[in-house]
């Protein structure tokens, strides 16, 4: 792999990791707010952000658009070729965070109807 491809892949991995960190803050704030019964406008913003992310993933056949772009610069078969995460976390990322999001939304809905 040439220097230019490495540089582009490094940029994509860095950007992808920053976006992943952002969505961690979003999802864990949502979970905290749900458990602490602090349902405010930020809870609904968090839910909307995650749902929009879900729509983007659906549009790209369950791949992040950055993964699609990064594929041009790597032949790696590892799940973390496009992000700075341990391979196991990159592999199960969608399952883990969808589960946490689902639990948080269920708690929020319970708080809203009780």
**Is 5 among the domain residues?**
no
Q: What is the pLDDT of residues 3-33, one digit of tens each?
A: 899 999 999 999 999 999 999 999 999 999 9
Whether 13 is in a domain gets the answer: no
Identify whether 91 is part of a domain.
Answer: yes
**Are the C-beta atoms of 93 and 17 separated by less than 8 Å?**
no
Q: How far apart are CA 109 and CA 107, in angstroms?
A: 5
* HSE-CB for 81 with a 13 A CA cutoff: 15
How many domains, the chain? 1
Q: What is the DSSP letter of 100?
A: H
Tens of pLDDT, residue by residue over 92-107, are 999 999 999 999 999 9
pTM of the predicted protein model: 0.93
In a domain, 106, yes or no: yes
Q: With respect to residue 48, please indicate whether it lies within any of the assigned structural domains.
A: yes
Is residue 3 domain-resident? Answer: no
- Structure tokens that stand for 113 in this block: 């109807």
**Is 65 domain-assigned?**
yes
Q: Tell me if 110 sits within 8 A of 45, measured CB to CB.
A: no
Summarised one tens digit per residue, pLDDT across range 59-98 is: 999 999 999 999 999 999 999 999 999 999 999 999 999 9
pLDDT of residue 3: 85
Domain assignment present for 109: yes
Structural domain including 39 reads 18-113
């Amino acid at each position: 792999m040439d220097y230019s491809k490495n540089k582009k892949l490094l940029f994509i991995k860095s950007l992808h990791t920053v976006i992943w960190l952002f969505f961690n803050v979003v999802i864990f704030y949502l979970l905290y707010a749900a458990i602490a019964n602090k349902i405010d406008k930020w809870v609904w913003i968090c839910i909307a952000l995650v749902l929009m992310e879900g729509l983007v993933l659906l549009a790209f056949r369950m791949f992040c658009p950055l993964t699609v772009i990064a594929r041009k610069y790597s032949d790696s078969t590892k799940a973390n070729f496009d992000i700075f995460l341990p391979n196991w976390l990159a592999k199960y990322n969608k399952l883990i965070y969808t589960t946490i999001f689902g639990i948080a939304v269920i708690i929020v809905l319970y708080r809203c109807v009780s």
